[in-house]
């Protein structure tokens, strides 16, 4: 069974075009200054305007305050907000209410115990993002190119639609989907030639492999 793809951390117009041309369903823009994929708001507005109809524009935030959300949304049309920090279920609900946008909440997983947290967000969030938990002391809360043990998700069901993330590449995404049953995947590092610089061939290979196209890796 194939999955649709979100390509996250787009920083250049040509990367948006590559993701769209490859058939990715979601375009991710990072609003987190510590990330090498961070885009200033004016740049994000240009990139968002380039995303074709039918491809959702996802804004990635890490523990954003209301002022940041308001200032970005005043300039950048976004369809979904991705919260990738330590936001509580109440904060997820408050962001939804304030912005009127669907929220995808990221939850980091390293062991079976971490899966319980996913249930905590099942009512508040519209979508769940199951990512690898960053190593202690990691500079970034995501986008580190590390995978978790996908077998932890075998046989699991969640209250909301979910995406799988963490260290996915054109070479491993088919196996990750086969094991977990993910219907959507989110990839950043695995389709880059350098942090923040996407590689169009890797994007094409990733989207094709996720979709289960014949001949894909
Ligand atoms: O991509 C980033 O720079 C980033 C920064 C802060 C939080 C999350 C970030 N990216 C998200 O992390 C996962 C996994 O990324 P990767 O494929 O392992 O590099 C993904 O959901 C990205 O949206």
pLDDT in tens, the chain (217 residues): 699 999 999 999 999 999 999 999 999 999 999 999 999 999 999 999 999 999 999 999 999 999 999 999 999 999 999 999 999 999 999 999 999 999 999 999 999 999 988 888 989 999 999 999 999 889 899 999 999 999 999 999 999 999 999 999 999 999 999 999 999 999 999 999 999 999 999 999 999 999 998 777 6
State how many domains the chain has. Answer: 1
Decide if 32 is inside a domain: yes
Q: In terms of C-beta distances under 8 Å and separation of at least 24 residues, what long-range contacts does 117-122 make, across chains too?
A: 118/158, 118/162, 119/158, 119/159, 120/89, 121/89, 121/92, 121/160, 122/158, 122/159, 122/160
Which atom of ligand 1 has the smallest separation from the CA of 190?
17
Which atom of ligand 1 has the smallest separation from the CA of 37?
3
Whether residue 58 contacts residue 104, with contact meaning beta carbons closer than 8 Å, is answered with yes
Decide if 216 is inside a domain: no
Decide if 205 is inside a domain: yes
Distance 67 CA to ligand 1 centre (A): 23
Decide if 153 is inside a domain: yes
Decide if 39 is inside a domain: yes
Residue 79 catalytic?
Answer: no
pTM score of the predicted model: 0.96
What is the distance between the alpha carbons of residues 87 and 95, in angstroms, rounded to a whole number?
A: 10
Residue 137 sits in which domain range?
A: 4-211
CATH number at 26 reads 3.20.20.70
165 lines ligand 1 (CB under 6 A): yes
Decide if 217 is inside a domain: no
């Amino acid at each position: 069974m194939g999955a649709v793809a979100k390509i996250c951390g787009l920083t250049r117009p040509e990367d948006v075009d590559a993701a769209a041309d490859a058939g990715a369903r979601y375009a991710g823009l990072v609003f987190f200054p510590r990330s090498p994929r961070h885009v200033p708001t004016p740049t994000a507005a240009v990139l968002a305007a380039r995303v074709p109809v039918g491809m959702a524009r996802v804004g990635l935030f890490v523990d954003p305050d209301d002022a940041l959300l308001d200032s970005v949304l005043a300039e950048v049309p976004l369809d979904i907000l991705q919260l990738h920090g330590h936001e509580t279920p109440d904060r997820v609900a408050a962001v939804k209410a304030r912005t009127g946008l669907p929220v995808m909440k990221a939850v980091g997983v390293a062991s079976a115990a971490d899966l319980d947290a996913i249930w905590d967000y099942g009512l508040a969030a519209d979508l769940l993002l199951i990512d690898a938990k960053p190593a202690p002391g990691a500079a970034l809360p995501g986008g580190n190119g590390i995978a978790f043990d996908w077998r932890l998700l075998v046989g699991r069901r969640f209250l909301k639609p979910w995406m799988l993330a963490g260290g996915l590449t054109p070479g491993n995404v088919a196996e990750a989907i086969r094991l977990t049953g993910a219907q959507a995947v989110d990839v950043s590092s695995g389709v880059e030639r350098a942090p923040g610089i996407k590689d169009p061939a890797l994007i094409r290979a990733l989207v094709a492999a996720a979709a289960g196209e014949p001949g894909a890796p």
